[in-house]
Each structure stands twice: as structure tokens, then as C-alpha cells.
Chains A and B, each alone.
Chain A
């Protein structure tokens, strides 16, 4: 039991060192490099979709297929929860 705790502590410290080294060498906060697709979306979202909200037009119009997949995930999760927790005296 003590050996397992020491091995878990060494693993935790190694993962923490990796994360901190990665955060030191990222590019400075607030400078995205390739933003050509987002500049096109910000320029043309009012005459192509007619909505004032840029995020909603991306979610439902420019990338509506991802929203279809997300609706499927919600439906599958609800069906699985109802199936696991079924009572025996249901009608």
C-alpha cells in the first residue's frame, strides 16, 4: 500500500513538470496566428446568414453538422440513463 502511494506521487510530479514546461514555451497570450477563416466569418456573417450573433451563426449555419452530432449525443445519453436505471415494477 505504501509502494503504490509513492509510485503515484512520482507519476503526478512528472506530469506536473511536463505541463509547466509546456506552458512556459507557448506563444504569448492574445496572438492567434492563422485566423483567415474567422476573418471571413466576421466580415460576411450579416449578409449570408442574416444574424447579428457570430457564435450562433457558426454553430447553426456554417458548422451545423457538428450540432447534429451533438444532438445525437444528448439523445443517446438520455436513452442510456433511462435504460440503466429502470425499475422492476414499471408498467
Chain B
């Protein structure tokens, strides 16, 4: 019934992020594209750990039955925190570029050399 639909959602997220990274010239739009690619990869990690008709791997008032795998969910937690750290560093570099060049266009920054 579902038949590989989550994999196509992951592809949609990664392709939208790749479009924003390649075809746009504003620096902040490129940063948003990188964040979208990271969100697609995190979603892919979670969809690898699902079993048919399973519940969350938590024993507090659980309804019983089989449980999904807990290890990919733990690795996705680490990946999200790494994404936040990379986003903070990218934005601080964009602030420094704006302070020095007074513009946010990627083609203008490539040409002015001083």
C-alpha cells in the first residue's frame, strides 16, 4: 500500500535543496538549500528503521507487539545536532562577508578582490 513512498519524499527534499544551492545567487538562499539537503538525509535515516505494524520502542504503557529499531533514531539525533552546529557557523560567516563587502550577491563577491 505504501510501496516506497517515503523514499520519494526523501528524493523530493534533496532535489529542492539542490535546486536552491545551484541556481540561486543570494547567499542566504544557498544556506537554506544546504539545510534542506540535511533534513532530507535525516528523514532517510529514520525510514531505514521501520518494521511493518510496529510501535515506538518505549515500554511505558505500551500496547504490546513488535517494536521498531531504536539505533537509527539515536544516530539521527546526533546528525540533527551536527546540522545545527554547521548552520550556526555558516550564518556567522555570512554576517562577516556582509560586513566586509556590503553585498550578498555571490557573483559580486567573486569579482571584487581586495
Q: Do chains A and B touch in the complex (CB under 8 A)?
A: yes
Query: Chain A: residues with CB nearer than 8 A to chain B?
Result: 5, 8, 11-12, 15-16, 19-20, 23-24, 26, 28-32, 35, 37-38, 41-42, 46, 52-55, 58-59, 63, 66-67, 69-70, 73-74, 76-78, 80-81, 84-85
Identify which of A38, A55, A58, A73 contacts B81 (C-beta below 8 A): A73
Cβ–Cβ contact A29 & B4, under 8 A: yes
Binary contact readout B57-72 vs A (1 if CB under 8 angstroms, 0 otherwise): 1111000000101110
Q: Which of B8, B15, B52, B85 counts the most chain A CB atoms within 10 A?
A: B85
Q: List residues of B whose CB falls within 8 A of some A CB.
A: 2-8, 10-11, 14-15, 18-19, 22-23, 47-52, 57-60, 67, 69-71, 73-75, 77-78, 81-82, 84-86, 88-89, 92-93, 95-96
Q: Which residues of B contact A15 (CB under 8 A)?
A: 15, 18
Contact A55 B2 (CB under 8 A): no
* A-B contact list, 23 entries, CB within 8 Å: A15-B15, A16-B11, A19-B11, A19-B15, A20-B11, A29-B3, A29-B6, A30-B51, A30-B52, A32-B51, A37-B71, A38-B49, A38-B69, A46-B59, A52-B60, A53-B60, A54-B59, A55-B58, A55-B77, A59-B74, A66-B78, A77-B89, A85-B96
